[in-house]
Structure 1
Amino acid sequence: MTADNKADVELHEVTVECPLITASQIQSRFNTLRDLTHEQMVALNRKVVKKIDWRLMPCVTIMFLMNYLDRINVSNARLAGLQEDLHMSDTVWSAGISTFYVGYLIGQVPGNLWLAKANPSIVLPTMMLAWSIATICMPAMTSGAGFCIVRFVVGLTEAPFFPGITLMTSSWYNKEENPMRMAIWHAGNTISNIISGFLAAGILEHMGNVLGLHSWQWFFIIEGAASIAVAIAAFFILPDWPHNTKFLTEEEREMAQYRVLVSNGGKEEGVGGTWDGLKQAISDPFTWLFCGMHFALITAQSFKDFFPSILNTFGFEKMTTYLVQAPPYAIAYAVACAMAYSSGKFQESCYHIVVPIVASAAGTAMLVSTMNVGVRYFGVILLISGTYSGLNLQLSWETTLVPAPRSKKAALIAIANCISQTSHWFSPYFFPRSQEPFYRLGGGLILFGCAFSAALCWLIKWRAKTLNKRLDEAEGWSKHSGNERGWRHVY
């Protein structure tokens, strides 16, 4: 199959009522593109992708790094005495962890629907400034109640960010590029865990009583200040949408729109009405299947808020406990990039999620069944790598199966992410200190998340195959018909 034919095959409208739309027909819609040759289109496409890669990817990766760092910093601060200094019981501590996700849940859907109609270069940095200011306020906490309140505000202000950058990525990149690009900015997740360990080793071990502050107070001040600096830079660097980004020429903006339109099967990504998009998302079964899958994956990752505490049961000294957090996340990032590249190249998602999830379940079994440090550490690597890769590909899969309109896609992403966060309302109670060293109650919860994720993967694949068969029948297509095959759902 030639490159031209391959592009044309991808250009069928999702709804069966529309005829097959060719790449040349889409090209003719754009004034600056309609007279370009194939070679000129290829060259322009490469130029646009390169510009976006260098502008969008570093910016959202660093922003997500700071976002996740602000989310997990309390885990290491706990080891440095935060819980004891504020006289919090395990129940109050778990309530504070859960309260973050109450705010996070409340802000998800309205935040992402707002972003779909606004300019990301304004909305996302503004949210980042807000959560950074809240983080800098954390050293002023004097009680468990204050901890709960501040964590609620941090969660509320962070809420639109993760679904927002997911929406942005899927609006700039096609379905072959999307998995890898999401894996790239997902690096902020792994790097933040690595940096958090090193920061903890440096700040929490050496800055106690500097200017009369606890080391954990300095931890929040330094992280919050760095996050503010990144937010200010993002106002000037972050692009908006393909149709209105100022650092691209008119020709490049049209190419950016053309690329995504081809990937969407000719379906316009236009914003659409906010409530219309929400209603469309609610009525689409894919939304609820991905809600369940996202919930299951977040449940399988419930160990993350307690990762330093879990490693603390390995018997290392405190400094080593901080430092050994880094390798599992570095390995997880490499695995996620490899799986994302393979998924995009072969346009397959189900097996690319299920296989790593099975590995995560095996890692959990190792973690809860033996005291051998080597086996448990290898189990941690499997656990993190599988769930991390699975979540990355799930995000890419849902935006590929529901590519447009933007308001519907924004609602789907936000609803799925919103419902998934309810896991954090109860999962902290599965990791009390009384469960050390095995945390078997938490291990059982992780295994449930892995099993539920795999089951929903198969359900989504079954639905996508069923819809593809209907499209085949509507077009009269079969392997032996000789007809051209249009856009199909990726599974």
Structure 2
Amino acid sequence: MASPADPLHHPGAGAPPSTFEEATYRKVSWRLAPFLMLCYVVAYLDRVNVGFAKLQMTSDLGLSDAVYGFGAGIFFIGYFIFEIPSNVILHKVGARVWIARIMVSWGVISMLTMFVTTPTMFYVMRFLLGLAEAGFFPGIILYLTYWYPAHRRGRMTTWFMTAIALSGVIGGPLSGYILKSFNDLNGWHGWQWLFLLEGIPSVIVGIMVFLMLDDRIANAKWLTREEQQLLESQVSAEEATKHDMPIRQVLTSGRVLMLSLTYFSFVMGLYGVSFWLPTIIKATGVTDAFMIGLLSAIPFAAAVVAMVFVARSADRTRERRWHIALPAFAGAVGLVLSVVWAQSTVLAMASLTLATMGILTTLPLFWSLPTAILAGTGAAAGIAMINSIGNLAGFLSPYAVGWLKQATAANDSGMYMLAAFMVLGGLLAISVPARIVNR
């Protein structure tokens, strides 16, 4: 019997799955889940380590909060431009080659960021990093539809996206340690070492993707023919219930646009926390870089537990909408309380923990909505469009928080804005018809 933490265990509704079916999906999950999580950990670390670099580089380079916020966010403009073409290319050429290309290129660009000396150079490198990474996340979401039917995919998506939280658990203390211990080594600042040392794993893992990842079920030599037939039959049965819309129709669909706005709202909360968490902790009175890193790991560690628990509940009940909305509302409450209790490190950390748990829990479950509707090339384009529009919030969120912080000399307005977006996202999730997604 699968353990409670098994990413595969799912009793489902109706007739229970056969022992052979459960064993097959368990085999697939233990093959894919840890590897995909590793990919996302190094990806997300390179995306948001600029939040820790800020603790030193803004003073070293004379960058204002508004300049930092714009530079942190311009990543998502490059991401937006190449997102849809990248995902369509992945659907055509296969995940192995394309994901490997993405990871190696962004690892190299992340390392080169250590050489920036002006705001313009900072903007250019962040833009290029977004251009290089475009297509990674929606590519993995699409890749999971090649292997899992909807009632199993929610759990797998959650396990994959716990990498966001794990990157916070690992990256916070690691980034704080690098900033503190490597500063002035070889004449380089700590933030320069941060970009260099945290970019190397992306290149290494990218090479591993090329050598180890299988594009489709039929390419997986580690599966028996009977196991391949079982997996292919379940995926084919679900695909037959979907309509593969032309790309143009997908990109103008009202439902896809509504889902894009929903995801945009959640991503506003995500990157508001991700890019500004170290700064918020510092504002409570903590000044040691390594201690800030340790404290920043707490909200993300709690989020791992919340993400897995809520995903298990959603898959068991086959209910999606309220499992998305309630964490979104909890995240909004946490954001508001984080500024109400900003003068107390303990209370502010408790609030930020609640906010992070709520925000991160919404994200993987959100993807159960579009993947229940879209198929084929339409799914590749639709998922990429939702992700690219949603991730424009990654540009707006840190910039808006930085601008509001600079204009008001406080974090309050920025956190209230993020809370409002989390409430909006929760309300939009509830508005999706249950008959479409609860299966």
Is contact 2:269–2:397 with CA below 8 Å preserved after alignment?
no
When residues 286 and 245 of structure 1 are mapped into structure 2, their CA distance, relative to the original with a 3 A threshold, is farther
How far apart, in 1, do the equivalents of 2:127 and 2:224 lie? 42
Deviation at 1:137, TM superposition (A): 0.8
Structure-2 separation of matches of 1:331 and 1:209 = 34
3-state SS of 2:316 partner: helix
Find 2:406's aligned residue among 403, 419, 434: 434
**Within 5 Å, which residues of 2 pair with 1:211-222?**
211-222=186-197
Aligned-residue offset at 1:246? 4.0
Question: Which of 120, 132, 135 matches 2:107?
Answer: 132
Indicate conservation of the 8 Å contact 1:277/1:409, yes or no.
no
In the alignment, the residues of structure 2 paired with residue 90 and residue 381 of structure 1 have an alpha-carbon distance, to the nearest angstrom, of 24
2:357 corresponds in structure 1 to 385
Letter in 2 for 1:45: E
> Which structure is higher in helix share?
2
1:362 and 2:333 are equivalent in the alignment: yes
Assess, with a 3 A threshold, how the Cα gap between structure 1 residues 280 and 43 changes in structure 2: closer, same or farther.
Answer: farther
Give distance in 2, aligned partners of 1:418 and 1:296: 13
Deviation at 1:201, TM superposition (A): 2.6
What one-letter code is carried by the residue in structure 1 that aligns with 2:170? Answer: I
Deviations 1:76-135 (A, max 9, x none): 0111x1122223233322221122111111111111111112211111011100000101
1:409 is displaced (CA, Å) by 1.2
- 1:417 CA displacement: 0.8
* Contact 1:55 1:239 (C-alpha < 8 Å) held by counterparts: no
Normalised by the length of structure 2, the TM-score is 0.90
Range 388-397 or range 168-177, more displaced: 168-177
2:438 paired with 1:490: yes
More moved, 193-202 vs 342-351: 193-202
* Alignment of 1:456 onto 2:419: no
Letter in 2 for 1:58: P
Residue aligning to 1:482: none
Residue 437 (structure 1) shift: 7.7
Aligned residue number for residue 104 of structure 1? 79
Tell me the CA shift for residue 411 of structure 1: 1.3
User: Which structure has the greater CA radius of gyration?
Assistant: 1
Deviates more, 1:252-261 or 1:242-251: 242-251
Aligned sequence identity (%): 26
Offset of residue 141 of structure 1: 1.5
| 1:424 alignment partner in structure 2 | 394
State whether residues 56 and 239 of structure 1, in contact with CA within 8 Å, keep that contact through their aligned partners in structure 2.
no
Greater alpha carbon shift after TM alignment, 432-441 vs 143-152: 432-441
- Corresponding residue number in structure 1 for 2:216: 241
Contact 1:44–1:255 under 8 Å retained in 2: no
> For 1:156-305, what aligned pairs fall within 5 Å after superposition?
156-264=131-239, 266-267=240-241, 277-301=246-270, 302-305=272-275
Question: Quick check: 231-240 or 338-347, which moved more?
Answer: 231-240
Q: CA deviation at 1:258?
A: 0.9
Q: Cα 1:5–1:163, aligned 2, differ >3 Å: closer, same or farther? A: closer
Residue 173 (structure 1) shift: 1.4
2:310 corresponds to which residue? 339
Rounded Cα–Cα distance in structure 2 between residues aligned with 1:331 and 1:68: 18
- State the secondary structure of the residue aligned to 1:324: helix
**Structure 2 letter corresponding to 1:134:** I
Long gaps (5+) in structure 2: 1-10
Q: Are the counterparts in 2 of residues 177 and 344 from structure 1 also a CA contact under 8 Å?
A: yes
Aligned 8 A contact 1:289 1:460 in 2: no
SS for the counterpart of 1:6 is coil
Q: Structure 1, residues 338-370: CA drift from partner, whole Å, max 9, x if none?
A: 111110111101111111112112112211223
Q: Which amino acid aligns with 1:223?
A: E
Could you tell me which residue of structure 2 aligns to residue 350 of structure 1? Answer: 321
| Residues 367 and 379, structure 1, Cα contact 8 Å, conserved in 2 | yes
Runs of 5+ unmatched residues, structure 1 = 8-37, 466-487
Give TM-score, length-normalised by structure 1: 0.81
Of residues 342-351 and 445-454 in structure 1, the stretch that sits farther from structure 2 once superposed is: 445-454
Which residue in 2 is equivalent to 1:51? Answer: 27
Mark the CA change 1:277 to 1:239 in structure 2 (over 3 Å): closer, same or farther.
farther
CA distance in 2, matches of 1:375, 1:85: 31
Tell me how far 1:57 sits from its aligned partner.
0.9
For residue 314 of structure 1, report the CA deviation from its aligned partner.
1.4
Q: Which residue of 2 aligns with 1:17?
A: none
Q: Secondary structure at the match of 2:369?
A: helix
Q: d(CA) in 2 for partners of 1:4 and 1:62?
A: 28
Q: Quote the residue 2:36 is aligned against.
A: 60
- Separation in 2, partners of 1:424, 1:228: 24
2:384 match: 414
Distance 1:451 1:489 in 2: 20
Deviation at 1:197, TM superposition (A): 1.2
1:325-348 C-alpha deviation (Å, 9 max, x unpaired)? 111111111101111111011110
Is the alpha carbon distance of 1:400 and 1:161 closer, same or farther for their aligned partners in structure 2, counting shifts above 3 Å?
A: same
Distance 1:400 1:216 in 2: 42
After TM superposition, the structure 1 stretch with the greater mean CA deviation from structure 2, 280-289 or 441-450, is 280-289
Which moved further from structure 2: 122-131 or 219-228? Answer: 219-228
Name the CA distance, whole Å, in 2 between partners of 1:217 and 1:126: 24
**Number of the residue aligned with 2:8:** none
**Alpha-carbon distance, 1:43 to partner:** 4.6
Kindly provide the CA deviation profile for residues 269-317 of structure 1, in whole angstroms up to 9, marking residues without a partner as x.
Answer: 9xx7xxx641242354331221110011111222321111011111123
Paired with 1:253 and 1:277, the residues of 2 have a C-alpha distance of 29
Structure 1 stretches of 4+ with a deviation exceeding 4 A read: 435-438
- Residue type at the aligned position of 1:411: A
